[in-house]
Structure 1
Amino acid sequence: MSLVACLVLLAPALFILRQAREASAAPMPEPEGVVPMLSHDERMRRVTYQHTCSKQTDCEAPLVCYHDVRFRTYCTDSACTTDSQCPEGQRCTTLAVPSAGARVRLCALVGPRQEGERCLETPFDAISACKAEFECAGRDGYCARPCTPGQPGTCSEGFFCADVKPKPSCLPTCEKRGCPQGERCIPFEEGTSICASIYGPNCLDTPCPDGRECRVFSQSDFPGKVWAECVHRCSATNPTCGEGQVCDGFHCLQACDPDGPNPCAEGFHCDRRSEQLPWSCQPDYWRGR
């Protein structure tokens, strides 16, 4: 009878201990909206795993169609859950996949970029990557720290808390503090603005002729610089460019001769991207592209 009584008393404790062991052995559930990291067998059972895709429906659940600037657009699950699962010099980063309304975790390089500097989510080399304490946030890509919208003081001076994906982040603004001499405050998407030197026609201050669109371009590997253009579209069937211009990549650009005097303005160079295209004055950020 004593043995039976002891077993009755121990049963609840043994049941709780067993549940705790099972819980610790089970994989932790992913936060809502984050694509899980599948096992090798689970990946192999999906025909579309790592296959090229153009839209979310090209991928089997729970894979998402992710555009990776390093490689291509392909179907993938999360590649990591912690930094320890990534190669040396990389970390496990949560990235937004707007087309799927989800987030995915991939290994990305850690680099030298400071808060507020332009960046790439998954760069080819570390030069365009953020320091470990920041993540690349916003559509234009800025190294940023997380923040809480509506909470005063959550971002330092020169930054504001933007409700962006994959999570609210402190993005740069120069509207109140102004810019150094020779630079101006350039507005971009999501309310961001940065101090930069402008190359090309300053169509932000002087409207483009003939109602053409003023476009401003920047690249993560050219911090503090932007290129402005009064976009003049053209094509092989409609090469209607002005005098002294050529049609290059659907843009009318100034023509140049690599063996003659350099007619290209500062921030531009004389080049051509293939033997089929003409020589033109191209923005410096086109180099190697």
Structure 2
Amino acid sequence: MRSYLNVPAHSERKFKSAQSTSADAILLDLEDGVAPGDKLLARETLSRVLSLSYLAPPRPRIGVRINAVDTLHAGLDMECLAACEVRPDFMVIPMVTSPRDVEIVSTWAGRYGWEPSLCVLIETADGVEAVNSICRESVPALKGVFIGTADYANDIAAFVNEADFTYLRQRVVNAARASRLAVLDAPHFQLSDTIGLKASSDRSFRQGFSGRIALHPDQIDVINRSYSPTEADLKHAREILEAAAATESGIARSRGGMVGPPFYEHSKRIVALAADAASTNEDRNYTRTAI
């Protein structure tokens, strides 16, 4: 999945609107997107909107971001989800600093006969330092890793709109990919900056990220395009695969350069990503028409 539209869980109106967008997933937020005084309302609304999400398939996948596991709100969030007649497709655990955080949520869900797909949000210095063990020790329950630049910037005393977060990005991408997990980039906070969103998303995709969070519906189409192979990418990948099929040595030439097995595997992945993107786009178009 490429685009995750963040929606505050207490807003049924925004959730209904989100279902008609081209987002691959909707992330119902019980954490930062909900003020402390609205937490109870968000939990009360959550069960109702989860049921609504199943009214018009095909639909975006639905996730829920709970509060950090060391807070009182997290326990209340999990009690709410246990009581929901319809459960989300995945859960996001914020402020994760150790594999224990994932184990707590997974153990809790198991008490209700539920094995949710879990994602973690790495957004602190401690989380970055522990990201290898978090990824390695949390499979198979763990399916994806998000990064959070705002809380991370605050934790390391950086400026969120000025730092490039190269260390954070490379550490998390490497750890996630080593455990064969999806890895998702932080949102672009400048909502009207379409050029900056596209540039950072294009760069993020080519650095190994699978997708990113959208904070506004207007960001979704840009994100979906950036995290899908371009026609030029697909053409080049097919040329490399044709060159691979024509050689017996394992090494071939393409566009004047030498290519080998790593290039072939990358090209296969590009072709598969393009097919997945086309299929997902068709489903989303149908959903917009149906609703």
TM-score normalized by the length of structure 1: 0.28
Structure with higher strand content? 1
Asked which structure has the greater RCO (Cα within 8 Å, sep 6+), the reply is: 2
